Structure 1
Amino acid sequence: MSADTANRMDLDPDYNAELADMVAAMNVSANRLTPPNGQRTTPHRLSLSDRKMSLQERSSYANGFTPRIARRPTIESKRVSISDGDDCVQLNQYKLKTEIGKGSYGVVKLAHNEDDDQYYAMKLVSKKKLIKQFGFPRRHPSRDSSGSQENLLKHSGLLDRVYQEVAILKKLDHLNVVKLVEVLDDPAEDNLHMVFELVPKGPVMEVPTDSPLTEEMAHFYFRDVILGIEYLHYQKIIHRDIKPSNLLLGDDGHIKIADFGVSNVFEGNDALLTNSAGTPAFMAPETLTDQDLRFSGKALDIWAMGVTLFCFIFGRCPFHDEYILGLHDKIRNMAVEFPDKPVISEGLKELITRMLDKVPETRITLPEIKLHPWVTVDGTDPLPLEEEHCTVVEVTEEEVQNSVKLVPSLSAVILVKSMLRKRSFSNPFECPSRRQGRSMSAPGGLTLDMSLFRPLSRGSNSNGSKEGELENLIEDETFS
C-alpha cells in the first residue's frame, strides 16, 4: 500500500465515510441468495408432486404426519467467518454446542443455526485420518501452497471425487436418508465440517444390548433400511458402513440412514472395490483377504444389512471375538448360528442366512430381499417399486465446484475484521517498536504472517474502485 493511500485514509473523512458505505453494501450483497445452478438451466426432473406417493409415505400420512416437501436448495457462499465465544465456537452462522456423538475419525456436535433458529448435527471429520484409513486420494491445498489461481487449478483435479460425492449427498432427498445441509472446509485445518439435519432420537439401538427389538419392530425398521439402501444404490452410492448406530430414528418413527464417511460413488451397474472400509464386525468376508481381488459394492451393503438385522433381533453381532484376527477368521469361515432365545420365525432365519452368504455371487440381492416372504408378509404387504420412491439426482459441474464452502483461517478473519472496524488498511497488530515477529497485541499471542499485508493494487478492478480492492483482499485470504 502506498504512502499516499495510507495518508488519504487517515486524513480524509469523506474517504472513511465512503468506505463505511462500501462495507455496508458488501454486507447486503453477501446476504442475497444465489441460485445453486447460477444461470444454467437443467432438464425438468420428477418432483414429489410428479410421482406416485410410496406405500410407506401413504402409511405415514394416514397416521397423521405432515406431508413431506422437497428439500430446500443449498445456498452457496464463500464469505464466512469463524470466531471463539465465551461458551462456544462460532463457525459462520453456526454456534457449536455440546458433543453428541463420536466416531473413529471425528466427532458430531450440536450446532445452532442463527439464521433459521434451527438445530443441526455438525460432523467434524479429520481429513488426515480419512485419507490414511480409507484411501481417499484427494487433499486440499496445503497451508504452504500459494493462493494463486494457478495453484488452485493445479489442485482442483485432486478434489474432484470429494466434491462430486459432497454435491450428490447435498441433493439426496429421501424419507430414509439423513439430509446433508452444508459443508464447510478450511484448507489450512484438518477438520472438514459437515452439517446434517438433526435426528434427536438418535440410533435405533445400541449394540450389544440386553433389550433387542421384537421381530415385529425389526420387520418395520428393516423395511425402512431396504428402501433407504435401494435409493442410495439407485443414486450409485455404496454406503459401506450400515449398522444400527448409523440408523437414526426420526420424529416420524422411520429410520434415517446416516454417516457417509466411507461411502463410494460408482458408475455403471455396480461398484468394483478393492479396499476394506467400515466397522470390523460388519465387514463382508470377501474384504478380509490378502489377495488383490475386486468385489461387489452392493453385495457389501447386503452383508452389513444381514448383520444389522441379526443385531435387531438378538442384540449382538453374529460374529464376535476379542481379537481382530479371530473376528476375521470367524467372519470368513464360521456359519451363522442362531441363539435359542428369542424364538424367531423360519422365514427370518432363512433371510438372514441368505444375506450372510459367504460367497458374494450367490448372496441374495436387494430386489430379491424386497420380494422375500418375511419382508412382504407372504406378499400381503409389498414394498413400493423402485420407480415409486426413487428419482435420479442430477448434479451440474457448477454444483460440484461449489460443493464445499471454504472457511478462511482465523488469523485472516481477525485481520480483515479489524481493518473494517477501524476503516484503515494499516497493520492493526503492529507495534511501533517491532515491525516483524510476534505481535504483543494480537489475540492469543498470534504470530503474524507479514505476507498478508501485500499491496491492494494487485487485485484492484479496472475502474480502480476501493470495493474491488477490499473484495479481492478478502477472497485472497480465503484461499491462502
Structure 2
Amino acid sequence: MKLVSKKKMVKQCGFPRRPPPRGAKAAQGEQAKVMGPLERVYQEIAILKKLHHVNIVKLVEVLDDPSEDNLHMGESLADPVMEVPTDNPFTEDQSRLYFRDIVLGIEYLHYQKIVHRDIKPSNLLLGDDGHVKITDFGVSNQFEGNDALLSSTAGTPAFMAPEALSDSRQSFSGKALDVWAMGVTLYCFIYGKCPFIDEYILALHSKIKNKPVEFLETPVISELLKSLILRMLDKNPDTRITIPEIKVHPWLTQDGMDPLPLEEDHCSAVEVTEEEVKNSVKFIPSLSAVILVKAMLRKRSFSNPFECPSRREERSMSAPGNLKGSSGEGNREELEDLREDEPSS
C-alpha cells in the first residue's frame, strides 16, 4: 500500500484542463469540460487504473480517508529490480533484457499522453513473469498535444535532467526528461551507481549540468552500449535521443536481430467515462469513526459509549430519578461490554 499526499497531487497534477476527447467524441466536436484540482486528481487516478500493459504495474484500488491528507494506493506487489547503490550490478545482456521492458513501458505511457518524471531502479518492479514493470506515478503528468511542456521540477535529484535544473529555461520537454532518467537507470544497471553523485544538492546539480559522463574501467562494456548511454545523457534535450530512436538502436535490437514490437502492436488508447472518474477513489471513514459507530450500533444508542460516566451523569440531572439511579450500573455494563472488543495483550 503506497501513501500519496492529496495536497501534493493537486499541486503537481498534470491536468491543466481536461484532455481533449478522442475518437468519435472528437469528431463530434465535444467541448472540453473544465475540472477542479481534485477532479483532475481523480481523472488521473481513473486513467492509471485502466492502464493495461505487461510493463506497467497494475493499480488495484485507491482509498481516501477524508480526515487525512493521504490517498492509499494499492498496487500489485513485487520487489524493485535493483537497489542503488549496489555491488552487484547486472551484466550487459541482463541489462538489455530489462531495459527493453522499460522502453516499451515508457512508450506505452507516452502513447497515453503521460510522462512519468521519476524513472529509477527502485520504481521498476520485477514481476513473477520476469518482466520489469514501471510503478509510482506520484509525480507523473498527463499532457495534450505531442509532448508535455513542464516548468517545475519533480522526481529524484540524481535522476533529474539538466534542463530541469536550469535557471534560463522556462519550460522543457516531459518526454526528454523520461529519456534522461532512463539513461541514468541504464548506467545504474551496468555500474550499480549513478553517473553523477554528490552529497551536496547544489554540487550534484552542477555535475548534472556540466560534468561529462565517465565510464568506469570495470566492467568493460561494448561501444554500442556506451553510445546509447551518451545519447540518452545528452545535456541538450533538443538533440537527445528519442524513444522511437532508442527502439531501433543496434545495442537494444542486437544489430536488428531482435527488434522491438511496433507501437501499434502493444499500445491502444485508454478512455475513461465520467462514471469511472467519479468512482476512481473509494472513500473510507477514519478508523476512529469506524470504532465509534460499531460501538454505538452494538449498544443501539446514539450516545458516545466512550464518554466519561461522571460527565454523562451531570448532563442527566433533569432526568427522572429512576433513570438517574440506573445510569451508573448501565455505564459499567457498557464499559465491560466494550472491553470484550479490545484485543488481549
- TM normalised by structure 2 equals 0.81
Per the alignment, residue 268 of structure 1 pairs with 145
Question: Which residue of the other structure, out of 97, 101, 104, is the alignment partner of 1:224?
Answer: 101
CA distance in structure 1 between the partners assigned to 2:157 and 2:304 by the alignment: 53
Checking the alignment, whether the CA contact within 8 Å between 1:172 and 1:393 is kept in structure 2 is yes
Q: Secondary structure at the match of 2:117?
A: coil
Per the alignment, residue 89 of structure 2 pairs with 212
Change (3 A) 1:434 1:332: farther
- The residue correspondences of 1:92-107 to structure 2 (distance < 5 A) are none
Aligned: 1:190 with 2:80 = no
Q: How many residues are paired up?
A: 298
CA distance in structure 2 between the partners assigned to 1:262 and 1:425 by the alignment: 43
CA distance in structure 2 between the partners assigned to 1:434 and 1:285 by the alignment: 68
Checking the alignment, whether the CA contact within 8 Å between 2:64 and 2:284 is kept in structure 1 is yes
Deviation of residue 404 (structure 1)?
Answer: 1.1
CA distance in structure 1 between the partners assigned to 2:209 and 2:2 by the alignment: 33
CA distance in structure 1 between the partners assigned to 2:14 and 2:141 by the alignment: 13
Per the alignment, residue 351 of structure 1 pairs with 228
Q: Deviations over 1:62-115 (max 9, x none)?
A: xxxxxxxxxxxxxxxxxxxxxxxxxxxxxxxxxxxxxxxxxxxxxxxxxxxxxx
- What letter corresponds to residue 408 of structure 1 in structure 2? P
- Which stretch of structure 1 is more off in the superposition, 382-391 or 415-424? 415-424
Q: Secondary structure at the match of 1:192?
A: strand
Q: Deviations over 1:237-275 (max 9, x none)?
A: 111010111111111111011111111111111111000
Change (3 A) 1:416 1:275: same
Checking the alignment, whether the CA contact within 8 Å between 2:14 and 2:142 is kept in structure 1 is no
Q: Deviations over 1:110-147 (max 9, x none)?
A: xxxxxxxxxxxx1123445x369x64599xxxxxxxxx
Deviation of residue 411 (structure 1)?
Answer: 3.8
Checking the alignment, whether the CA contact within 8 Å between 1:286 and 1:360 is kept in structure 2 is yes
Checking the alignment, whether the CA contact within 8 Å between 1:371 and 1:382 is kept in structure 2 is yes
Checking the alignment, whether the CA contact within 8 Å between 1:239 and 1:264 is kept in structure 2 is yes
Per the alignment, residue 181 of structure 1 pairs with 60
- State the identity as a percent: 72
CA distance in structure 2 between the partners assigned to 1:163 and 1:411 by the alignment: 25
Deviation of residue 345 (structure 1)?
Answer: 0.7
Q: Secondary structure at the match of 2:275?
A: helix
Q: Secondary structure at the match of 2:73?
A: strand
CA distance in structure 2 between the partners assigned to 1:237 and 1:135 by the alignment: 13
Structure 2 unaligned spans of 5+: 16-34, 317-330, 336-345
Per the alignment, residue 202 of structure 2 pairs with 325
Deviation of residue 435 (structure 1)?
Answer: 4.1
Deviation of residue 434 (structure 1)?
Answer: 4.4
- What letter corresponds to residue 158 of structure 1 in structure 2? P
More helix by share: 2
CA distance in structure 1 between the partners assigned to 2:141 and 2:204 by the alignment: 25
Change (3 A) 1:338 1:182: same
- The residue correspondences of 1:460-475 to structure 2 (distance < 5 A) are none
Aligned: 1:366 with 2:243 = yes
Question: Which residue of the other structure, out of 389, 397, 401, is the alignment partner of 2:278?
Answer: 401
Checking the alignment, whether the CA contact within 8 Å between 1:137 and 1:158 is kept in structure 2 is no
Deviation of residue 401 (structure 1)?
Answer: 1.4
Q: Secondary structure at the match of 2:2?
A: strand
CA distance in structure 2 between the partners assigned to 1:337 and 1:184 by the alignment: 45
Change (3 A) 1:365 1:411: same
Change (3 A) 1:127 1:158: closer
- The residue correspondences of 1:416-427 to structure 2 (distance < 5 A) are 416-427=293-304
Q: Secondary structure at the match of 1:168?
A: helix
- What letter corresponds to residue 191 of structure 1 in structure 2? N
CA distance in structure 1 between the partners assigned to 2:306 and 2:199 by the alignment: 56
- What letter corresponds to residue 167 of structure 1 in structure 2? A
Deviation of residue 427 (structure 1)?
Answer: 4.7
Aligned: 1:384 with 2:287 = no
Q: Secondary structure at the match of 2:197?
A: coil
Checking the alignment, whether the CA contact within 8 Å between 1:270 and 1:297 is kept in structure 2 is yes
Per the alignment, residue 48 of structure 2 pairs with 169
- The residue correspondences of 1:114-193 to structure 2 (distance < 5 A) are 122-128=1-7, 130=8, 135-136=12-13, 157-193=36-72
Deviation of residue 205 (structure 1)?
Answer: 1.3
Q: Secondary structure at the match of 1:170?
A: helix
Deviation of residue 299 (structure 1)?
Answer: 0.4
Q: Secondary structure at the match of 2:313?
A: coil
Question: Which residue of the other structure, out of 173, 182, 192, is the alignment partner of 1:296?
Answer: 173
- What letter corresponds to residue 345 of structure 1 in structure 2? S
